[in-house]
């Protein structure tokens, strides 16, 4: 139902409590709403005394309970068709979980240059295909569990935490283990079966030079590894302890350094898929590393933007973005003397959180041991905050480091790590345009992260 004002259609669910001077067109009789008279009266009473919203809540307020109660109230008011009537003081009930920023904004990411449309109302659209798949039990044949090493290739890196939580390298009794991927996307020698045959060459020779120039092909070579982050069966980083996750991050850095030294490597991608919706095929907590002789177009574009910014201003683009975020404050989730976690201005996914260093460091693998451990600790806390907000959520972790080879540029690049929950789907618009539609403004997401941080450890949470 929509109200009419000056010829403009207004959805009352998107009107803030702060907006006043609205005029109701009518009062709906109880018999038309499908509720009895007392129920309508109760709803109107509850509407006239609306629950607080997140933006006005006090630090100790139970946000989750308030949000659910507010959402239930709006649903009932919509069903009863009385939501378009103003409260006694002229205010409208706030739409729950709605950012103070208007729906329909499009934001540009200063680093990638990509645009994201923000449409929080789309989160309420019906989903006939929604399903709740039960979590499968841990398999006795999990190839990543301790004792099943024969199910994977031989390790290229491993370490064991001793009783005093010191790492013992290349231990057969391991805590973290790195192995070549059994089903690699890229091989060190390239995919021999994809190399052109004599028949391919003959077919190619029949094409005109112009036609040949349209179909560019090259051999993809490099490496594809799996970092197994625990010997016991775990599903998410949140199940690791501080020593375990610090050792896993140490493995990330070690393997990145290894591949950076290999001839021909231009790009190193380290990522983690947790849950089916994030692309995981195995439960056991693990990350993957792909080192390639090819620099992806999108990464090249980011590099060009960073170089252009540096040439113009003499400063790192990521450093400038971070400084602006710290000045604005509302999207900051956590900061220490060394690190910042924030929800980017043009987040491509709901509840996306980015972690990076205050000090300019081009490559993640160049961080000191102590800084690496601090990053691991903050990632662990961030994943736990995320899973408290959305229990059982699937997510991707992406570690962005500086390019390798002749593209290496510590001066303009600045490492970062992103946690991207997968609570929506890529559909026609995203696939056809390359743009994204996000149903949660980063300001609202950061507020929820800060709330969880206060609940988990009030001593270290931003106010």
Please compute the mean of the pLDDT values over residues 291-306 and round it to a whole number.
Answer: 90
> Which of the given ranges, 143-152, 356-365, 435-444, has the highest pLDDT on average?
356-365
Q: How many residues does the chain have?
A: 463
In terms of C-beta density within 10 A (0-12 exposed, 13-18 middle, 19 or more buried), how is residue 52 classed? middle
> How many of the other CB atoms lie within 10 Å of CB of 21?
8
Instruction: For residue 158, give both structure tokens.
Output: 């491993």
Average pLDDT of every residue of the chain: 76
Q: For the segment 124-177, what is each residue's pLDDT rounded down to a tens digit?
A: 555 433 444 445 455 568 999 999 999 999 999 999 987 555 665 656 789 999
Q: For the segment 337-352, what is each residue's pLDDT rounded down to a tens digit?
A: 999 999 999 999 999 9
> How many of the other CB atoms lie within 10 Å of CB of 393?
20
Whole-number pLDDT of residue 215: 74
- Report in angstroms the alpha-carbon separations of 339 from 229, 233, 353, 375: 23, 30, 13, 8
Whole-number pLDDT of residue 409: 76
Is the per-residue pLDDT at 20 higher than 90? no
The answer to whether 10 touches 2, Cβ cutoff 8 Å, is yes
Element (DSSP H or E) covering residue 249: helix 242-260
> How many of the other CB atoms lie within 10 Å of CB of 261?
9
Q: For the segment 82-107, what is each residue's pLDDT rounded down to a tens digit?
A: 444 444 443 333 333 444 444 566 66
- Least confident range from 21-30, 205-214, 442-451: namely 21-30
Nearest CA to 107 among 449, 442, 431, 425? 442
Whole-number pLDDT of residue 312: 96
Whole-number pLDDT of residue 171: 60
Q: For the segment 361-420, what is each residue's pLDDT rounded down to a tens digit?
A: 999 999 999 999 999 999 999 999 999 999 999 999 999 998 887 666 788 999 999 999
In terms of C-beta density within 10 A (0-12 exposed, 13-18 middle, 19 or more buried), how is residue 362 classed? buried
Q: DSSP label at 135?
A: P
pLDDT band at 429 (very low <50, low <70, confident <90, very high): confident
Whole-number pLDDT of residue 188: 84
Domains located in the chain, CATH noted = 3-80 (no CATH), 149-460 (3.30.428.10)
């Amino acid at each position: 139902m929509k109200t009419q004002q000056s010829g403009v259609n207004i959805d009352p669910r998107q009107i803030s409590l702060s907006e006043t001077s609205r005029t109701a067109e009518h009062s709906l009789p109880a018999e038309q709403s499908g509720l009895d008279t007392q129920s309508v009266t109760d709803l109107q009473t509850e509407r006239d005394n609306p629950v607080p919203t997140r933006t006005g809540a006090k630090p100790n307020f139970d946000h989750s309970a308030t949000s659910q109660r507010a959402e239930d109230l709006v649903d009932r008011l919509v069903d009863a068709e009385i939501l378009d009537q103003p409260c006694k003081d002229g205010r409208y009930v706030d739409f729950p979980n709605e950012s103070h920023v208007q729906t329909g904004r499009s934001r540009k990411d200063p680093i990638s240059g990509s645009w994201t449309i923000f449409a929080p109302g789309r989160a309420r659209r019906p989903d006939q295909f929604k399903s709740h798949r039960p979590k499968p039990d841990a398999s006795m044949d999990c190839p990543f569990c301790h004792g099943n090493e024969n199910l994977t290739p031989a390790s290229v890196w491993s370490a064991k935490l001793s009783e005093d939580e010191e790492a013992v390298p290349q231990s057969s009794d391991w805590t973290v283990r790195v192995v070549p991927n059994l089903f690699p996307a890229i091989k060190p020698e390239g995919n021999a079966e994809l190399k052109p045959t004599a028949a391919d060459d003959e077919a190619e020779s029949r094409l005109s030079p112009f036609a040949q120039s349209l179909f560019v092909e090259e051999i993809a070579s490099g490496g594809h590894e799996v970092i197994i982050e625990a010997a016991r069966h775990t599903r998410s980083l949140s199940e690791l302890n501080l020593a375990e996750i610090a050792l896993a991050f140490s493995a990330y850095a070690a393997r990145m350094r290894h591949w950076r030294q290999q001839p021909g490597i231009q790009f190193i991608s380290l990522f983690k898929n947790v849950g089916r919706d994030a692309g995981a095929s195995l439960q056991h907590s693990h990350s993957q590393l792909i080192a390639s002789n090819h620099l992806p177009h999108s990464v090249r574009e980011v590099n060009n933007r960073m170089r252009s910014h540096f040439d113009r201003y003499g400063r790192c683009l990521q450093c400038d973005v971070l400084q602006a975020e710290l000045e604005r404050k509302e999207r900051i989730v956590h900061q220490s003397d060394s690190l910042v976690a924030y929800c980017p201005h043009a987040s491509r996914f709901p509840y996306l959180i980015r972690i990076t260093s205050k000090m300019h460091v081009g490559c993640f693998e160049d961080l000191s041991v102590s800084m690496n451990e601090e990053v691991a600790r903050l990632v662990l806390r961030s994943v736990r905050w995320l899973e408290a907000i959305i229990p059982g959520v699937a997510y991707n972790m992406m570690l962005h480091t500086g390019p390798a080879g002749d593209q290496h540029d510590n001066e303009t690049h600045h490492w970062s790590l992103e946690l991207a929950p997968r609570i929506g789907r890529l559909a026609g618009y995203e696939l056809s345009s390359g743009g994204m539609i996000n149903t949660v403004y980063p300001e609202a997401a950061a507020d929820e992260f800060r709330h969880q941080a206060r609940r988990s450890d009030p001593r270290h949470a931003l106010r």
